[in-house]
């Protein structure tokens, strides 16, 4: 695997772990999230990083679109957070955190581990 891609995969993994760590400090509860501006902004920033890393991976190797689920949606969320910040829905972000981020974490860890077994 290209070293740049591996670095970006680690960036995604670290961002997901950061989001997970936020909920060791705060209750993983939608209303806690919705009412905590610092938690929301920190989470959104990590989602931006994830989207940017996925975008770079796809530019480097478009075949990763078949290895990572919902790449276009991940990049689209990044763009929304950055460019259309006023249309972000707390419910949408929460759904991503609960339903999609755990799956992405598994996929990213698998891709990283597959690379580490080759070395």
d(CA 72, CA 58): 10
Take residue 114 and report the two structure tokens written for it: 């597959």
Q: Which of 45, 56, 78, 100 is catalytic?
A: 78
Q: Which of 41, 45, 56, 83 is catalytic?
A: 83
Residue 83 falls in the annotated catalytic set: yes
d(CA 68, CA 22): 24
Give me the active site residues, please. Answer: 78, 83
């Amino acid at each position: 695997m290209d070293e740049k891609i591996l670095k970006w995969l680690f960036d995604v993994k670290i961002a997901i772990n950061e989001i997970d760590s936020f909920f060791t400090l705060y209750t993983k509860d939608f209303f806690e999230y919705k009412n905590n501006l610092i938690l929301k902004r920190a989470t959104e920033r990590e989602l931006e990083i994830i989207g940017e890393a996925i975008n770079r991976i796809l530019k480097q190797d478009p075949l990763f679109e078949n290895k990572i689920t919902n790449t276009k949606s991940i990049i689209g969320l990044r763009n929304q957070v950055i460019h259309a910040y006023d249309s972000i829905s707390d419910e949408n972000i929460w759904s991503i955190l609960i339903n999609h981020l755990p799956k992405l974490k598994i996929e990213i860890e698998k891709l990283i581990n597959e690379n580490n077994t080759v070395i």
